[in-house]
Structure 1
C-alpha cells in the first residue's frame, strides 16, 4: 500500500508537468508490465532487475519493436523512481537484455509511409465534399505545412492562426515535444492550406477554441479538440479513399512526406530541422536517407564522370 500511495502522490505532482502522451505512455507501459508479471507469478512492484530483464526478453520474443521495448524499460524505471526504488534499467541484467534485443531485432525502426506531394494530389482528387472530408483535408495540409506531430495539430487553437496578404498565413505552435516550456514557435501556412482551413472553420461554425474537432455521422461538430489517436485514423481513411495502402500510414506520415519533399526540393538538413522542430538531425536524415544518398560522395564521384 505504501508503494501505491507514493505513486498516487507522484501522479498528483506530475499532473501538468508531463505531456498528455507521456502520461498515457506511462500508464499503458505500467499496465502491460504488471499484467505480464502476474501471468509469470512475479512481483511487479518493486521490479527486480532480473524481472525487468526477463520482461525485455519476453517482449523481444513477441517481436515487439525495439523502440517500444526501450519505452517499456523507461516507463518501469520512471515509476520505480517515483515509488522510491532504484531504477532496474540501470542494472547489468537489463543492460545485457537490451543488448540481446538489439542483436536479435536490430535497432532500425520501420518508417511510416510518406504523404508527399504526389499522395496529396491523389487525396485531393478523392477526398469528397462532406464536412468530415473538408476537415480531414484541412488537417492533412496543415500537418504538412507545419510538419506537425499529432499532439501539436490537435492542440492548435483558432487564436493561434493569423492571415497574411496574398492568402498565406501563420500558425503559432505553443508547445511541442522539443519545447515543453511552451516558448512557442511560429510557422508558415500556404495559401492552399489556408483556403481549406477557412472552408472547414466556416462549414463547422468555429469562431474560437480548438481548430480540429470531432464530427459525428450526423455532421454535428464537437466542442472539444480531436483526440491524438484520431489523427492517424483520419490519415489512413484519406489514403484508403485515394487508393493508397493505409496500413503503413501513421500520424507521422504527413511529417515524413513534407521532410522528404523539402529535401527533394534542395533544402539542407539544418533547414528541415528548423521547419520540423527537431533538435537532432537523426530523424530528418532517416526520413530522407534515400534522397540524401543521391547527394552523397559516391553519387557525386560517379556524377562527375558522367
Structure 2
C-alpha cells in the first residue's frame, strides 16, 4: 500500500528548515487529536483510492479531473456495476485492503468528511484545492442530494434517566464497579460528555473545594469538539453524581494524572488512562448486565439521553445546552423534537 504523503511539503526556499519544523509543530499542536487522526485515516484512504483508480500517487495540488472522479466513484452503488468498471475495481481494491466495507454508496457525510480532510491538507500546503472548481463543487452538491438519507442515530437508544438507573444497578462493590458508576454518572450528569472528553479528564481537572459546603464538584474540561483550549466553561456535578466521583477518587487513590483508568482482573487500578474505545466497551458491558438487548445503546446515548431527559423534564433548552456545550441550538433541538408530543410538559399547561 502506498504510504500517505506528509501533511506539509518540502520547505520552500523562503522558509528555513527550523521554521518549517516549527510550522509543522504548530499545526500538530493547534489541531485537536481526533481531527489529526481523522486526517490520517482519510489521507490513507484517498492515497489508496488514487493508487487503485489511476495507478499513481497523489499530486499537490490535485487535478480537477481526479477530484471529480473521486466524487463520481462515491456517489453511486457499485454492487451491480460490471467487474471491469473502473470505480468498481478501485472499490474492490479498497475492500481488500480493509479501507472500505462494501460496494454500497457511502453515506454523504463520509464523502463530505474525506473531501474536507483533502481540502484541509491543501490549505496546510498553501495550495489551491480542486474541490473549489465550479464543476467539482456542483458535482459534490448533486452527489450529496442524490445520496441523501435519514441520518442514522449515533446511539440506537438515548440513555435516559430510567435506563441509566438500570446500568448503575449493575455496578456493585468492586473498584471496577466504582469506576464505571462514576464514569457513567459524570458522563451523563455533566451534560452528556463525549468519550474523548471523559478519557481526557485528569485529577487536576476536578475541584472539591465546595464539596463539603455545597455538595458540588466542579469539572474543568481542557477543550471539547465545540470549544477551544482555555475557553471551555466549568461544569458542575451535584448529588449522587458528585458522591460517585469522589468515592472513585478515594477508592482508586488517585492524587494526580488520569481520572479514569483501567482496572486489572485482580481489581487493581492501573496508572494509564482509559482509551475512548474502553468507554464503548464499558457501556456495552453494562447494557448486557442490565439485561437490555445487544446494541441497545452506545456511549453517545449518554449525550442524547441527557438532552432527551431535559426535554422530558421541561428544562429550557438553553439551560441544557449550558451543560452539553452544544454550539448550535438547531442541533440540540433535534433531541427535544424527538420527545413524544404526548410527553411534552407544554401539553399539560391547562391541567
Residue 63 of structure 2 corresponds to residue 48 of structure 1: yes
Alignment deviations for residues 203-247 of structure 1 (CA, whole Å, 9 cap, x no partner)? 222111221112233334332322223222222222122122342
The aligned residue for residue 301 of structure 2 is 253
The aligned residue for residue 116 of structure 1 is 160
- 1:149 pairs with 173, 190, 194, which one? 194
**Range 110-119 or range 83-92, more displaced:** 83-92
Once the two structures are TM-superposed, the CA of residue 95 in structure 1 deviates from its matched residue by 3.8
Contact 1:213 1:226 in 2 (8 A): yes
Once the two structures are TM-superposed, the CA of residue 16 in structure 1 deviates from its matched residue by 1.2
Contact 1:175 1:182 in 2 (8 A): yes
Once the two structures are TM-superposed, the CA of residue 286 in structure 1 deviates from its matched residue by 1.3
Once the two structures are TM-superposed, the CA of residue 143 in structure 1 deviates from its matched residue by 0.7
- 1:89 pairs with 110, 121, 131, which one? 131
Distance in 1 (alpha carbons) for counterparts of 2:72 and 2:176: 44
Distance in 2 (alpha carbons) for counterparts of 1:256 and 1:129: 28
Distance in 1 (alpha carbons) for counterparts of 2:224 and 2:250: 27
Once the two structures are TM-superposed, the CA of residue 94 in structure 1 deviates from its matched residue by 4.4
Contact 2:219 2:237 in 1 (8 A): yes
Once the two structures are TM-superposed, the CA of residue 22 in structure 1 deviates from its matched residue by 0.8
Larger radius of gyration: 2
Residue 171 of structure 2 corresponds to residue 127 of structure 1: yes
**Range 215-224 or range 184-193, more displaced:** 215-224
Distance in 1 (alpha carbons) for counterparts of 2:39 and 2:296: 25
TM-score by length of 2: 0.76
Once the two structures are TM-superposed, the CA of residue 138 in structure 1 deviates from its matched residue by 1.0
Alignment deviations for residues 133-162 of structure 1 (CA, whole Å, 9 cap, x no partner)? 221221111011112122221222222222
For 1:23-34, list aligned pairs within 5 A: 23-34=36-47
Contact 2:222 2:229 in 1 (8 A): no
Residue 205 of structure 2 corresponds to residue 160 of structure 1: yes
Contact 2:223 2:231 in 1 (8 A): yes
Count of residues in Structure 1 that have an aligned counterpart in Structure 2: 301
Gap change, CA 1:11 and 1:233, over 3 Å in 2: farther
- 1:38 pairs with 30, 51, 55, which one? 51
Q: CA RMSD in A?
A: 2.9
Query: Structure 2: which 5+ residue stretches go unaligned?
Result: 11-19, 78-103
Gap change, CA 1:134 and 1:106, over 3 Å in 2: same
Gap change, CA 1:44 and 1:98, over 3 Å in 2: farther
Secondary structure in 2 matching 1:71: helix
- 1:99 pairs with 142, 155, 175, which one? 142
Distance in 2 (alpha carbons) for counterparts of 1:135 and 1:304: 41
Alignment deviations for residues 239-261 of structure 1 (CA, whole Å, 9 cap, x no partner)? 12212234253332101101111
Contact 1:171 1:189 in 2 (8 A): yes
The aligned residue for residue 101 of structure 2 is none
Secondary structure in 2 matching 1:288: helix
Secondary structure in 2 matching 1:15: helix
TM-score by length of 1: 0.86
Contact 1:236 1:247 in 2 (8 A): yes
Contact 1:172 1:185 in 2 (8 A): yes
Gap change, CA 1:268 and 1:238, over 3 Å in 2: same
Which protein is richer in helix relative to its size? 1
Query: Structure 1: which 5+ residue stretches go unaligned?
Result: none
The aligned residue for residue 98 of structure 2 is none
Once the two structures are TM-superposed, the CA of residue 81 in structure 1 deviates from its matched residue by 2.1
The aligned residue for residue 120 of structure 2 is 78
Once the two structures are TM-superposed, the CA of residue 281 in structure 1 deviates from its matched residue by 0.9
Distance in 1 (alpha carbons) for counterparts of 2:349 and 2:26: 61
